[in-house]
């Protein structure tokens, strides 16, 4: 782990370089080159690991070395294409750091940054799909913080709302938000989101949950009117 002074230097240097880079060109500068090299090494390490869970654990271990650089770019950047930044965005989602991922996602969407070719999706689609998938996994874990996931998913939904993407991907985002609302005790909001998911994708896998929520809401209304 780098010293606080070293991290401060990385952050300030990254902010300065990102602030003077040409937005129409790839990011450059000493800190970018150093972190791009570190990323190359990190990806080589990950490639040698077969287990998905072991890869995620290794990403947890590798990510902190990029934090100061990422903070600097987010503070001072003017939108040059940055594959280190975009890769860290995906890795933060993979490790469950959705808040940290969304900090990068907001910068990426503001400046129209593209995903590295290996991800084979545009930025809005990647953000929507990866965050939805991770949120669904997290909701399936014991002790999941559904209200916190509601806030994060609402943030993601607002970020990509005006961007074109495949219906199946947007349906995933509605589905994950629906289940987060349900687990947070907001059945009416949950029903609306799951119905939106079903309207976009008949194979979203939410029909039984919609029926269950409709019964629950009806029973609650009947009791309220009794």
**Residue 89 and residue 131 share a domain:** no
**Residue 131 and residue 90 share a domain:** no
**Residue 128 and residue 115 share a domain:** no
The answer, yes or no, to whether residue 1 has pLDDT greater than 70, is: no
Number of domains in the chain: 2
d(CA 172, CA 99): 19
CATH code, domain with 137:
1.25.40.10
Lowest mean pLDDT of 8-12, 68-72, 168-172, 210-214, name the range: 8-12
**Residue 163 and residue 226 share a domain:** yes
State the DSSP H helix or E strand holding residue 69, giving kind and residue range, or none if neither.
helix 67-76
Which of 120, 149, 176 terminates a domain? The answer is 120
Give the tens place of pLDDT for each residue, 78-118. Answer: 999 999 999 999 999 999 999 999 999 999 999 999 998 88
Which of 85, 120, 155 terminates a domain? The answer is 120
**Residue 68 and residue 87 share a domain:** yes
**Residue 101 and residue 156 share a domain:** no
Contacts with 170 (C-beta within 8 Å, 6 or more apart), sequence order: 128, 200
- Distances from the Cα of 173 to the Cαs of 82, 154, 155, 186, 214, in angstroms? 26, 9, 11, 17, 20
Residue 72, domain extent: 1-120
Give the tens place of pLDDT for each residue, 29-39. Answer: 899 999 999 99
**Residue 131 and residue 218 share a domain:** yes
**Residue 46 and residue 4 share a domain:** yes
């Amino acid at each position: 782990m780098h010293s606080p002074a070293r991290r401060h230097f990385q952050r300030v240097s990254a902010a300065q370089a990102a602030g003077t880079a040409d937005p129409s060109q790839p990011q450059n500068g000493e800190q970018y080159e150093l972190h791009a090299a570190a990323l190359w090494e990190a990806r080589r390490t990950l490639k040698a690991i077969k287990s998905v869970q072991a890869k995620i654990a290794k990403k947890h271990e590798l990510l902190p070395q990029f934090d100061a650089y990422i903070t600097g770019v987010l503070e001072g950047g003017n939108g040059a294409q940055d594959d280190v930044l975009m890769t860290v965005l995906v890795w933060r989602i993979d490790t469950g750091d959705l808040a940290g991922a969304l900090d990068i996602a907001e910068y990426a969407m503001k400046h129209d940054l593209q995903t590295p070719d290996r991800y084979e999706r545009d930025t809005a689609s990647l953000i929507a799909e990866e965050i939805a998938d991770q949120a669904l996994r997290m909701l399936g874990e014991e002790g999941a913080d559904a209200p916190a996931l509601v806030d994060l998913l609402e943030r993601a939904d607002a970020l990509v709302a005006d961007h074109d993407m495949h219906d199946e991907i947007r349906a995933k985002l509605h589905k994950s938000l629906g289940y987060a609302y349900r687990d947070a005790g907001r059945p009416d909001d949950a029903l609306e989101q799951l119905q939106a998911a079903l309207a976009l994708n008949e194979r979203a896998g939410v029909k039984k949950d919609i029926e269950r929520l409709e019964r629950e809401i009806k029973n609650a209304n009947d009791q309220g009117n009794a």
